[in-house]
Amino acid sequence: MLSKRGYFTALQKAEQLTERLLILDKTKDQFLANTSHELRTPLHATLSILQAVVDGGAGELTDRQKAELELAVGIGRRLTYLLDDLLDISHLQAGMELRLSSLDVHDVTAVALDVMRYLTDEKSVRLVNRVPKQLHWIEADEQRFQQIIFNLLYNAIKFTPAGTITVEAEQIGKMVKIRITDTGIGIAEDRQEKIFDRFEQGDRRTSQEGAGLGLYICKMLVERHGGEISVTSAVGQGTSFSFTMPAASSSGDPIHPSNIEPAMMRSVARLTAAASEDLPLALLPFTQASAKEKKEATILLVDDEPTNQYVMMRLLATEPYQIVAVSDGHEALEALEKQRHWDLVILDVMLPKMSGYEVCQRLREKYSASELPVLMVTARGQKEDLLAGFAAGANDYITKPVEALELRARVKTLLQMKRSVSDSIEAEMAFFRSQIKPHFLFNALTAILTVSQDDMKKAQDLLLDFSTYLRHSFDFEQHEKLIPIQRELELVEAYLRIEQIRFGERLDMIYKVEGDLSGRIPPMTIQPIVENAIRHGVMTRLSGGKVKLAVYAENNETVIQVEDNGPGFSAGAKTQQMKRKGVGLRNIERRLQNMGGKLEIVSKPNVGTRVEIRISQSQSELE
């Protein structure tokens, strides 16, 4: 008895909870509808003022001012269409009343295709109506049927860069099946089940998607008429949307372009706005500053929305930055490969083909967070999204809509961080030079004086070598981040000729230089390694000291090896050895990493040490 009472109590609570959830859901929908209505009035007022300015109501505008205002109007109109969609959903959920009449599918299709045909002129898309005239009649709300046809055609045009869009119809029992087929980019199989969900956009491959409400509204309208809608698609081949409508028992009046319903006109305006939104960008080749103005940083902007690219550039237009914009992850990685001197990447999370997280992970395989900072841009500020960005290697994030002051502040902070790291490396470089020069200068001058007593010609040659060494290593005005390998080898050879005079038979220098030496490396890269090999290798031996320098190409890499037969050290002592050799090797390693290079040290006790540098030939050829 008690168990039955408990069961009925639980059932009653479940029913009450279900009823409460339904009330809350209805309240939410009503709130959404009310909010949409409230937003429409100030939005329309704003657009009216902007349009009046565009039309010259506030005086003559420059071409740039007019184009930018037109862009703002276009963006505002997209927002009004989103509000219209939200209101349609609200009405459908409330049980929208349909005004049924007999419609000829051919006539509605013909009007829609005629109205939209001019919008496909630049896309090489052919629109074909294969619905026979006066054959397929349906019982439907004329305005809502036009809305379904237009939304599906709009979707087909949007995702078909070139090809054919065909409309067909056939009667199946008491229903008429209408099919719209395109030869566009297609939809991935795992996305097809979700394509009619609210806010779903399918495979996001273009930069013109809206909020993903159009197909959801189509599904609700079709089902409101008692029909069904489905999709079949293959990536790279095209997509076919099919839906059914009740067949009419008798024919009605023909439809002419002159009596197009308001829903169709609204849809035409929607497509016109979406198609024309990018026009100001094409009309305005955007330049941030004059060519004479010095750029303090080069920024890679990765965003698939042309409008977003333009807005971000405008927000940073007052800063001395050179900004290069690309539209997807693959283009971003290609840009990073082609040019190494990037100071910052502004990376949108939502990208076609490859997400911003994936791009950041790939980027971190070559660059550390200090070498190339990444500012992630996300539409969501949820904790999970931010953690995912930081886990992928992002330095910072900013949420949309982007505020100008916040964007400038975050960009400036990241650039200052990178600059501080670069300055510290340069400071280490200067310190390194100051540490290694005094003892060598003294020893070189002593060697030249000693040789001059017996062989003046040899002393003159040594003076020339000494001069070459000083010219290359003390060029403090040098601002080149990379120099030809040949120039670095000239420094090494001059240094070695002087050292061989000092050490005589204790030093046996072996060269193995092969192939093209036009590649580039950071200055003072090879010479300090050779000097370390002599100081910590050869100088520890009374005789038989050998240093081998090899430069060659292997697997599209330039390989530089410096090997000595000194005392060596164990693997466990490597860290201590790096510390003992001071800032020199650490500095070289960090500068090589900045250009995607690698430095590896291999050593065996009582055998010797080999230091190997590997640089991609494509990178070593870049300025």
602 occurs within a structural domain: yes
Strand order in the sheet with 229-234: 125-129, 163-172, 175-182, 238-246, 229-234
Residue-averaged pLDDT of the chain? 76
Amino acid 185: pLDDT: 87
Looking at the fold, whether 138 and 104 belong to one and the same domain comes out as yes
Amino acid 522: pLDDT: 82
Helices and strands counted in the chain (H then E): 19, 19
Amino acid 188: pLDDT: 84
301 occurs within a structural domain: yes
Confidence of residue 277 (pLDDT cuts 50, 70, 90): very low
Confidence of residue 210 (pLDDT cuts 50, 70, 90): very low
Mean pLDDT over residues 245-258, rounded?
67
Question: What's the CA gap between 112 and 170, in Å, rounded?
Answer: 19
Mean pLDDT over residues 294-304, rounded?
86
Mean pLDDT over residues 61-73, rounded?
78
pLDDT higher than threshold 50 for residue 3: yes
Structure tokens at 128: 């074909």
509 occurs within a structural domain: yes
pLDDT higher than threshold 90 for residue 242: yes
Looking at the fold, whether 293 and 268 belong to one and the same domain comes out as no
pLDDT in tens, 88-140: 777 777 677 888 889 999 988 988 888 777 667 767 889 999 999 888 899 99
Looking at the fold, whether 355 and 227 belong to one and the same domain comes out as no
The whole-model pTM stands at: 0.56
Of 91, 108, 143, which residue constitutes the final position of a domain? 91
558 occurs within a structural domain: yes
pLDDT in tens, 555-592: 888 899 998 888 887 765 555 555 554 456 777 887 78
Of 427 and 356, the one with more pLDDT: 356
pLDDT in tens, 411-460: 999 998 888 877 766 665 565 555 555 556 656 666 666 666 666 776 66
Mean pLDDT over residues 163-186, rounded?
94
Question: What's the CA gap between 115 and 104, in Å, rounded?
Answer: 17
Any idea what the CATH number is for the domain that residue 259 is in? 3.30.565.10
Look at residue 271 and give its three-state secondary structure: helix
Segment of 36-40, 294-298, 323-327 carrying the highest mean pLDDT: 323-327
Segment of 37-46, 182-191, 202-211 carrying the highest mean pLDDT: 182-191
Q: What is the enclosing helix (H) or strand (E) of 233?
A: strand 229-234
Burial 588-619 (b: 16+ CB within 10 A, else e): bbbbbbbbbbebebebeeeebbbbbbbbbbeb
Confidence of residue 258 (pLDDT cuts 50, 70, 90): very low
Rg, Å, the chain Cα set? 36
409 occurs within a structural domain: no
Residue among 383, 396, 382, 390 at smallest CA distance from 346: 396
pLDDT in tens, 601-617: 888 888 888 999 988 87
Mean pLDDT over residues 387-403, rounded?
87
- Residue range(s) defining the domain that contains residue 446: 419-620
Looking at the fold, whether 423 and 569 belong to one and the same domain comes out as yes
Amino acid 287: pLDDT: 44
Looking at the fold, whether 565 and 594 belong to one and the same domain comes out as yes
Q: What is the phi/psi pair of residue 365, to 5°? A: -70, -25
Looking at the fold, whether 463 and 581 belong to one and the same domain comes out as yes
How many domains in the chain?
Answer: 4
Of 276, 306, 336, which residue constitutes the final position of a domain? 276
Looking at the fold, whether 214 and 104 belong to one and the same domain comes out as yes
